[in-house]
Protein backbone atom coordinates (compact mmCIF):
# COMPACT_ATOMS: atom_id res chain seq x y z
CA UNK A 1 0.00 0.00 0.00
CA UNK A 2 1.27 3.52 -0.78
CA UNK A 3 2.19 6.07 1.86
CA UNK A 4 -0.63 8.38 2.92
CA UNK A 5 1.43 11.47 2.05
CA UNK A 6 1.52 10.52 -1.64
CA UNK A 7 -1.02 12.58 -3.65
CA UNK A 8 -4.33 10.87 -4.26
CA UNK A 9 -4.32 8.74 -7.41
CA UNK A 10 -7.68 7.98 -9.04
CA UNK A 11 -6.09 5.02 -10.85
CA UNK A 12 -5.63 3.16 -7.55
CA UNK A 13 -7.93 0.21 -6.81
CA UNK A 14 -11.19 1.22 -5.12
CA UNK A 15 -10.14 -0.14 -1.75
CA UNK A 16 -6.87 1.84 -1.77
CA UNK A 17 -8.81 4.98 -2.66
CA UNK A 18 -11.07 4.14 0.28
CA UNK A 19 -7.97 3.95 2.49
CA UNK A 20 -7.36 7.68 1.95
CA UNK A 21 -11.01 8.50 2.52
CA UNK A 22 -10.99 6.43 5.72
CA UNK A 23 -8.00 8.33 7.10
CA UNK A 24 -9.58 11.67 6.18
CA UNK A 25 -12.75 10.72 8.03
CA UNK A 26 -10.71 9.61 11.04
CA UNK A 27 -8.94 12.96 11.18
CA UNK A 28 -12.22 14.85 10.90
CA UNK A 29 -13.87 12.85 13.67
CA UNK A 30 -10.94 12.62 16.08
CA UNK A 31 -9.20 15.91 15.33
CA UNK A 32 -5.92 14.10 15.96
CA UNK A 33 -3.21 13.65 13.36
CA UNK A 34 -1.49 11.32 15.82
CA UNK A 35 -4.44 8.92 15.64
CA UNK A 36 -4.47 9.11 11.85
CA UNK A 37 -0.73 8.39 11.67
CA UNK A 38 -1.10 5.40 13.98
CA UNK A 39 -3.97 3.94 11.93
CA UNK A 40 -2.09 4.56 8.68
CA UNK A 41 1.06 2.78 9.87
CA UNK A 42 -0.89 -0.14 11.32
CA UNK A 43 -2.99 -0.73 8.21
CA UNK A 44 -0.02 -0.40 5.86
CA UNK A 45 1.90 -2.95 7.91
CA UNK A 46 -1.10 -5.31 7.99
CA UNK A 47 -1.86 -5.31 4.26
CA UNK A 48 1.77 -4.87 3.22
CA UNK A 49 2.91 -7.92 5.18
CA UNK A 50 -0.11 -10.02 4.27
CA UNK A 51 -0.04 -9.30 0.55
CA UNK A 52 -3.81 -9.69 0.18
CA UNK A 53 -6.61 -7.36 -0.83
CA UNK A 54 -9.38 -6.74 1.74
CA UNK A 55 -11.88 -9.21 0.26
CA UNK A 56 -9.24 -11.97 0.52
CA UNK A 57 -8.51 -11.43 4.20
CA UNK A 58 -9.80 -14.01 6.68
CA UNK A 59 -10.37 -14.02 10.41
CA UNK A 60 -7.21 -16.08 11.04
CA UNK A 61 -5.21 -13.52 9.04
CA UNK A 62 -6.37 -10.74 11.37
CA UNK A 63 -5.82 -12.93 14.44
CA UNK A 64 -2.21 -13.63 13.40
CA UNK A 65 -1.56 -9.92 12.87
CA UNK A 66 -3.20 -8.81 16.13
CA UNK A 67 -1.35 -11.36 18.27
CA UNK A 68 1.91 -11.39 16.33
CA UNK A 69 5.20 -9.84 17.32
CA UNK A 70 5.43 -6.34 15.89
CA UNK A 71 8.27 -3.91 15.11
CA UNK A 72 9.27 -3.75 18.77
CA UNK A 73 10.21 -7.44 18.75
CA UNK A 74 8.10 -8.05 21.87
CA UNK A 75 4.97 -10.09 22.41
CA UNK A 76 2.03 -7.65 22.27
CA UNK A 77 0.14 -6.73 25.43
CA UNK A 78 -3.63 -7.12 25.51
CA UNK A 79 -4.11 -3.37 24.99
CA UNK A 80 -1.95 -3.54 21.83
CA UNK A 81 -3.89 -6.53 20.53
CA UNK A 82 -7.12 -4.64 21.14
CA UNK A 83 -5.79 -1.57 19.34
CA UNK A 84 -4.80 -3.62 16.27
CA UNK A 85 -8.18 -5.32 16.12
CA UNK A 86 -9.99 -2.00 16.56
CA UNK A 87 -7.98 -0.42 13.75
CA UNK A 88 -8.57 -3.21 11.22
CA UNK A 89 -12.22 -3.58 12.22
CA UNK A 90 -12.82 0.16 11.88
CA UNK A 91 -11.37 0.11 8.37
CA UNK A 92 -13.55 -2.82 7.39
CA UNK A 93 -16.67 -1.12 8.74
CA UNK A 94 -15.80 1.81 6.49
CA UNK A 95 -15.27 -0.49 3.49
CA UNK A 96 -18.68 -2.09 4.14
CA UNK A 97 -20.31 1.35 4.22
CA UNK A 98 -18.59 2.12 0.92
CA UNK A 99 -19.94 -1.22 -0.45
CA UNK A 100 -16.40 -2.40 -1.29
CA UNK A 101 -16.58 -5.54 0.88
CA UNK A 102 -19.52 -7.39 2.37
CA UNK A 103 -18.15 -8.76 5.65
CA UNK A 104 -15.77 -7.83 8.45
CA UNK A 105 -13.27 -10.60 9.29
CA UNK A 106 -12.84 -9.12 12.77
CA UNK A 107 -16.40 -10.13 13.65
CA UNK A 108 -15.16 -13.71 13.96
CA UNK A 109 -12.65 -12.80 16.66
CA UNK A 110 -13.01 -12.29 20.38
CA UNK A 111 -11.55 -9.07 21.73
CA UNK A 112 -9.09 -9.38 24.62
CA UNK A 113 -10.15 -8.07 27.99
CA UNK A 114 -7.77 -5.28 28.81
CA UNK A 115 -7.35 -4.08 32.36
CA UNK A 116 -6.00 -0.54 32.05
CA UNK A 117 -4.01 0.81 34.94
CA UNK A 118 -6.06 3.21 37.07
CA UNK A 119 -5.37 6.85 36.22
CA UNK A 120 -3.37 8.92 38.68
CA UNK A 121 -3.28 12.66 39.01
CA UNK A 122 -0.30 14.47 40.44
CA UNK A 123 -0.89 16.37 43.67
CA UNK A 124 -0.03 20.05 44.03
CA UNK A 125 3.12 19.09 45.96
CA UNK A 126 4.18 16.63 43.25
CA UNK A 127 3.73 19.26 40.55
CA UNK A 128 5.88 21.67 42.57
CA UNK A 129 8.57 18.98 42.80
CA UNK A 130 8.30 18.36 39.08
CA UNK A 131 8.72 22.06 38.25
CA UNK A 132 11.69 22.33 40.60
CA UNK A 133 13.44 19.53 38.70
CA UNK A 134 13.39 21.41 35.38
CA UNK A 135 16.60 23.29 34.47
CA UNK A 136 16.39 27.01 33.67
CA UNK A 137 17.63 26.56 30.12
CA UNK A 138 15.61 27.75 27.09
CA UNK A 139 14.30 24.21 26.54
CA UNK A 140 13.64 23.78 30.25
CA UNK A 141 11.75 27.08 30.53
CA UNK A 142 9.69 26.10 27.49
CA UNK A 143 8.84 22.70 28.99
CA UNK A 144 8.03 24.38 32.31
CA UNK A 145 5.57 26.67 30.53
CA UNK A 146 3.95 23.69 28.80
CA UNK A 147 3.54 21.82 32.10
CA UNK A 148 2.05 24.84 33.83
CA UNK A 149 -0.35 25.40 30.94
CA UNK A 150 -1.42 21.75 30.93
CA UNK A 151 -1.95 21.69 34.69
CA UNK A 152 -3.92 24.95 34.81
CA UNK A 153 -6.04 24.51 31.69
CA UNK A 154 -6.66 20.76 31.71
CA UNK A 155 -6.26 20.64 27.96
CA UNK A 156 -5.01 17.58 26.09
CA UNK A 157 -1.41 17.39 24.90
CA UNK A 158 -2.14 18.15 21.25
CA UNK A 159 -4.45 21.02 22.19
CA UNK A 160 -1.60 22.74 24.02
CA UNK A 161 1.31 21.81 21.75
CA UNK A 162 -0.62 23.07 18.72
CA UNK A 163 -0.98 26.58 20.17
CA UNK A 164 0.55 29.38 18.12
CA UNK A 165 1.09 33.10 18.60
CA UNK A 166 -2.32 33.77 17.07
CA UNK A 167 -3.94 31.50 19.67
CA UNK A 168 -3.52 34.14 22.39
CA UNK A 169 -5.82 37.15 22.51
CA UNK A 170 -5.70 40.10 24.91
CA UNK A 171 -8.89 41.77 23.75
CA UNK A 172 -11.28 42.11 26.69
CA UNK A 173 -9.08 39.90 28.85
CA UNK A 174 -6.48 37.20 28.41
CA UNK A 175 -7.74 34.26 26.32
CA UNK A 176 -6.48 31.38 24.21
CA UNK A 177 -8.20 29.50 21.41
CA UNK A 178 -7.64 25.82 20.75
CA UNK A 179 -8.83 22.99 18.56
CA UNK A 180 -10.42 20.36 20.76
CA UNK A 181 -11.44 16.77 20.26
CA UNK A 182 -13.38 16.21 17.06
CA UNK A 183 -12.06 19.46 15.62
CA UNK A 184 -14.23 21.63 17.86
CA UNK A 185 -12.91 25.15 18.43
CA UNK A 186 -12.76 26.47 21.98
CA UNK A 187 -11.88 29.76 23.62
CA UNK A 188 -10.94 29.95 27.28
CA UNK A 189 -9.37 32.36 29.70
CA UNK A 190 -5.61 31.82 29.87
CA UNK A 191 -4.48 31.66 33.51
CA UNK A 192 -2.05 34.47 34.25
CA UNK A 193 0.74 32.15 35.58
CA UNK A 194 0.63 30.17 32.32
CA UNK A 195 0.85 33.36 30.27
CA UNK A 196 3.79 34.64 32.31
CA UNK A 197 5.59 31.29 31.98
CA UNK A 198 5.05 31.41 28.19
CA UNK A 199 6.45 34.95 27.96
CA UNK A 200 9.49 33.99 30.07
CA UNK A 201 10.14 30.92 27.91
CA UNK A 202 9.81 32.86 24.65
CA UNK A 203 12.20 35.55 25.92
CA UNK A 204 14.82 32.90 26.64
CA UNK A 205 14.62 31.96 22.93
CA UNK A 206 14.91 35.61 21.88
CA UNK A 207 11.22 35.79 20.95
CA UNK A 208 8.15 37.75 21.99
CA UNK A 209 4.48 37.42 21.14
CA UNK A 210 4.45 40.91 19.63
CA UNK A 211 7.18 40.06 17.11
CA UNK A 212 6.14 36.50 16.22
CA UNK A 213 4.28 35.53 13.08
CA UNK A 214 0.69 34.34 13.75
CA UNK A 215 1.53 30.75 12.79
CA UNK A 216 4.68 30.54 14.96
CA UNK A 217 4.50 27.89 17.68
CA UNK A 218 4.40 29.05 21.30
CA UNK A 219 6.92 26.32 22.07
CA UNK A 220 10.19 26.98 20.16
CA UNK A 221 12.68 24.26 19.34
CA UNK A 222 16.11 24.17 17.68
CA UNK A 223 14.54 22.48 14.65
CA UNK A 224 15.82 24.09 11.44
CA UNK A 225 12.32 24.08 9.93
CA UNK A 226 11.10 26.48 12.63
CA UNK A 227 8.49 24.10 14.03
CA UNK A 228 7.74 23.95 17.71
CA UNK A 229 8.71 21.13 20.03
CA UNK A 230 7.24 17.77 19.02
CA UNK A 231 5.05 15.66 21.27
CA UNK A 232 7.70 12.92 21.33
CA UNK A 233 10.43 15.28 22.48
CA UNK A 234 8.27 16.79 25.20
CA UNK A 235 7.21 13.32 26.39
CA UNK A 236 10.86 12.23 26.65
CA UNK A 237 11.78 15.39 28.55
CA UNK A 238 8.82 15.00 30.92
CA UNK A 239 9.84 11.44 31.80
CA UNK A 240 13.35 12.68 32.57
CA UNK A 241 12.08 15.48 34.81
CA UNK A 242 9.78 13.08 36.68
CA UNK A 243 12.65 10.69 37.35
CA UNK A 244 14.77 13.57 38.62
CA UNK A 245 11.91 14.68 40.88
CA UNK A 246 11.56 11.16 42.32
CA UNK A 247 8.13 10.64 40.74
CA UNK A 248 6.94 7.46 39.00
CA UNK A 249 7.20 7.69 35.18
CA UNK A 250 3.97 8.66 33.46
CA UNK A 251 2.64 10.03 30.21
CA UNK A 252 1.61 13.59 29.47
CA UNK A 253 -2.07 12.78 30.12
CA UNK A 254 -1.31 12.60 33.85
CA UNK A 255 -1.32 16.41 33.82
CA UNK A 256 -4.93 16.43 32.58
CA UNK A 257 -5.78 14.02 35.38
CA UNK A 258 -3.97 16.32 37.79
CA UNK A 259 -5.87 19.36 36.52
CA UNK A 260 -9.21 17.63 37.14
CA UNK A 261 -8.20 16.33 40.56
CA UNK A 262 -6.87 19.70 41.70
CA UNK A 263 -10.10 21.41 40.67
CA UNK A 264 -12.06 18.98 42.82
CA UNK A 265 -9.60 19.42 45.68
CA UNK A 266 -10.32 23.16 45.78
CA UNK A 267 -14.06 22.54 45.89
CA UNK A 268 -15.31 22.68 42.30
CA UNK A 269 -18.44 20.67 41.52
CA UNK A 270 -18.52 17.76 39.09
CA UNK A 271 -20.51 19.98 36.74
CA UNK A 272 -17.77 22.62 36.84
CA UNK A 273 -15.06 20.03 36.21
CA UNK A 274 -17.08 18.57 33.33
CA UNK A 275 -17.24 21.95 31.60
CA UNK A 276 -13.56 22.52 32.36
CA UNK A 277 -12.57 19.24 30.66
CA UNK A 278 -14.93 19.72 27.69
CA UNK A 279 -16.55 16.38 28.42
CA UNK A 280 -19.61 15.66 26.30
CA UNK A 281 -21.60 14.36 29.26
CA UNK A 282 -21.63 14.56 33.04
CA UNK A 283 -21.52 10.76 33.19
CA UNK A 284 -18.11 10.79 31.51
CA UNK A 285 -16.75 13.18 34.13
CA UNK A 286 -18.28 11.17 36.97
CA UNK A 287 -16.50 8.02 35.82
CA UNK A 288 -13.30 9.99 35.19
CA UNK A 289 -13.25 11.43 38.71
CA UNK A 290 -14.40 8.22 40.36
CA UNK A 291 -11.40 6.39 38.92
CA UNK A 292 -9.11 9.18 40.07
CA UNK A 293 -10.53 9.68 43.54
CA UNK A 294 -12.01 6.30 44.35
CA UNK A 295 -15.69 5.82 45.13
CA UNK A 296 -16.80 6.47 48.70
CA UNK A 297 -18.65 3.59 50.37
CA UNK A 298 -21.06 5.03 52.93
CA UNK A 299 -22.71 1.74 53.93
CA UNK A 300 -19.86 -0.47 55.02
CA UNK A 301 -20.12 0.70 58.64
CA UNK A 302 -23.73 -0.40 59.01
CA UNK A 303 -23.02 -3.74 57.35
CA UNK A 304 -20.02 -4.32 59.63
CA UNK A 305 -22.14 -3.55 62.68
CA UNK A 306 -24.78 -6.03 61.51
CA UNK A 307 -22.03 -8.63 61.29
CA UNK A 308 -20.87 -7.83 64.80
CA UNK A 309 -17.59 -6.36 63.60
CA UNK A 310 -15.98 -3.33 65.18
CA UNK A 311 -16.05 -0.17 63.07
Residues 38 and 163 in one domain: no
Residues 43 and 184 in one domain: no
Residues 131 and 91 in one domain: no
* pLDDT attached to residue 78: 85
Instruction: Give me the domain span that covers residue 51.
Output: 14-108
Q: Please state the length of the chain.
A: 311
Asked whether residue 1 is assigned to any structural domain, the reply reads: no
Residues 248 and 273 in one domain: yes
Residues 142 and 286 in one domain: yes
* pLDDT attached to residue 35: 81
pTM of the predicted protein model: 0.62
> What CATH number has the domain bearing residue 262?
1.10.443.10
Residues 239 and 137 in one domain: yes
Residue where a domain terminates, one of 78, 108, 138: 108
Asked whether residue 119 is assigned to any structural domain, the reply reads: no
Among candidates 39, 46, 44, which has minimal Cα distance to 1?
Answer: 44
Q: What are phi and psi of 128, to 5 degrees?
A: -60, -40
Residues 257 and 191 in one domain: yes
* pLDDT attached to residue 123: 87
Asked whether residue 36 is assigned to any structural domain, the reply reads: yes
* pLDDT attached to residue 14: 83
Total of domains in the chain: 2
Residue where a domain terminates, one of 57, 76, 108: 108
* pLDDT attached to residue 12: 74
* pLDDT attached to residue 131: 96
**Dihedral (C-alpha) 195, 197, 202, 205: value to the nearest 10 degrees?**
180
Asked whether residue 173 is assigned to any structural domain, the reply reads: yes
Asked whether residue 250 is assigned to any structural domain, the reply reads: yes
CA distance 249 to 211: 37
Residues 54 and 158 in one domain: no
- Cα end-to-end distance, the chain, whole Å: 65
Residues 137 and 68 in one domain: no
Asked whether residue 218 is assigned to any structural domain, the reply reads: yes
Split the chain (311 residues) into runs of 10 and give each run's mean pLDDT.
47 83 83 81 93 94 92 84 93 94 92 63 90 97 96 91 94 89 82 94 96 94 82 93 93 88 81 76 66 50 54 51
Asked whether residue 252 is assigned to any structural domain, the reply reads: yes
* 110 φ/ψ sector (left φ>0, alpha ψ -120 to 50, else beta): beta
Asked whether residue 118 is assigned to any structural domain, the reply reads: no
Residues 280 and 226 in one domain: yes
Residues 129 and 65 in one domain: no
Residues 133 and 244 in one domain: yes
> What CATH number has the domain bearing residue 104?
1.10.150.130
* pLDDT attached to residue 142: 97
* pLDDT attached to residue 99: 93
3-state secondary structure string across the chain: CCCCCCCCCCCCCHHHHHHHHHHHHHHHHHCCHHHHHHHHHHHHHHHHHHCCCHHHCCHHHHHHHHHCCCCCCCCCCHHHHHHHHHHHHHHHHHHHHCCCCCCCHHHHCCCCCCCCCCCCCCCHHHHHHHHHCCCCCHHHHHHHHHHHHHHHHCCCHHHHHCCEHHHEECCCCCEEEEECHHHCEEEEECCHHHHHHHHHHHHHCCCCCCCCCCCCECCCCCCCCCCCCCHHHHHHHHHHHHHHCCCCCCCCCHHHHHHHHHHHHCCCCHHHHHHHHCCCCHHHHHHHHHHHHCCCCCCHHHHHHHCCCCC
Amino acid sequence: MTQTLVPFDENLPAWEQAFYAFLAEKERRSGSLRTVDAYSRMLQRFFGTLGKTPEQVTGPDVFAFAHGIGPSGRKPASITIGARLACVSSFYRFLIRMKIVMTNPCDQLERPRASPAPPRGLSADEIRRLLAAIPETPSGLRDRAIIITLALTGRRRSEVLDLTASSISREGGLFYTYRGKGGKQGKRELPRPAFEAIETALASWGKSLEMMAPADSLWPSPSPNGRGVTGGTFYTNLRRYMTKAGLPPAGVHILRHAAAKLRRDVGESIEDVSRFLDHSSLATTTVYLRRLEGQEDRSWGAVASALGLQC
